[in-house]
Amino acid sequence: MRPGKMIQEVLRSVFKKPATNLYPKEKLEMAKNYRGKLKFNPEKCIGCKLCMRDCPSGAITINQVGDKQFEAEIDLGKCIYCGQCVESCMKKALEMTPDIELAQLDLKNLKVVFRAPPKDAPLKETP
């Protein structure tokens, strides 16, 4: 590259707006169908374990904790965020959220357990 052309490029870039985001100072706006952290709705789960069988990384474990009550253990360290589990769930008990802030200092914190509510507890409405 010629020195004159390089100086032109440097001067042009001085007056351009930066291409970087000011994250975490400014919140990132994720796309509508962005595949972030998984969310499990135990009220909808019927325990078919299709999500568990279809997960290519083996990140999901479904456990029965009562009569027709199930909990999901999701290892976010293993999850590749492909969304296959969400696609295979017939009852829509799994969904992808736009949550991207998943970094942890301890690997134990990457295992998330979504527990079924007690039978006598009122069901929460999901928006």
- Over residues 1-5, mean pLDDT: 72
Write down the H helix ranges in 29-81.
Answer: 50-54
Q: What percent of the chain clears pLDDT 90, i.e. is strictly above it?
A: 54
**What confidence tens digit (pLDDT) does each residue in 19-38 have?**
787 888 888 888 888 999 99
Structure tokens at 99: 């949550």
Q: What percent of the chain has pLDDT over 70?
A: 92
Give the chain's domains with CATH numbers. 33-114 (3.30.70.3270)
pTM of the model: 0.71
Structure token digits, residue 57: 């990384």
Q: What is the pLDDT of residues 104-125, one digit of tens each?
A: 999 899 999 998 777 665 555 4
Average pLDDT over residues 3-13: 83
